[in-house]
Amino acid sequence: MGKSSRARVLPESKAKAVGTMIRVSPRKLNLVAQTIRGQKVEHALNSLTFSPKRIAKVVKKVLESAIANAENNHDLSVDDLVVSDASVGKNLVMKRFMARARGRGAGIMKPFSQITIVVEEKREEKVAEKPKNSSKNAKSAKTSKKPAAAKAQKEAA
């Protein structure tokens, strides 16, 4: 008995994790999210580990959670995972005030934000490179211009 599970929204090759109530403005969080979009998971973890931004540690935790979801819940290969989407959104805003001169008050907004990281399994297939056409190179060599010094020698002779 109990509640039936909800239908899966993402395709089978994707997994996601959501980090909510992150105490930073969405604009600042998006700067960190931009650095990992489209990267392989291994490279994204390295860039977050050595990022000077304070919030990179929180984003790294969310990314690690997405990787764990992909591996344990959806049976995806960790080596083939790529960060397909890292979207940032607003959350609540704590409103405070600071006393100012002449009995006034100035508003202080302390924003929270959330991040959703979606990882996707993309297998890299090695494609055989086409051999370069040697006749094309020979043709371009014939039509190439000669240096000015060679022309001057030819005219002098």
Structural domain boundaries in the chain: 14-98+106-123
Helices 41-49 & 56-72 angle (0-180, nearest 10): 150
33-55 tens-digit pLDDT: 999 999 999 999 999 999 999 99
Q: Is the predicted pLDDT of residue 123 greater than 60, yes or no?
A: yes
Q: 85: buried, middle or exposed (CB in 10 Å: 19+, 13-18, 0-12)?
A: middle
DSSP element (H, E) containing 95: strand 81-99
What whole-number distance in Å separates Cα of residue 64 and Cα of residue 48?
Answer: 11
CATH number (3.90.470.10, 3.10.20.30, 1.20.1370.20, 1.10.760.10) of 14-98+106-123 reads 3.90.470.10
**Number of neighbouring beta carbons within 10 Å of residue 115:** 25
Total-model pTM: 0.76
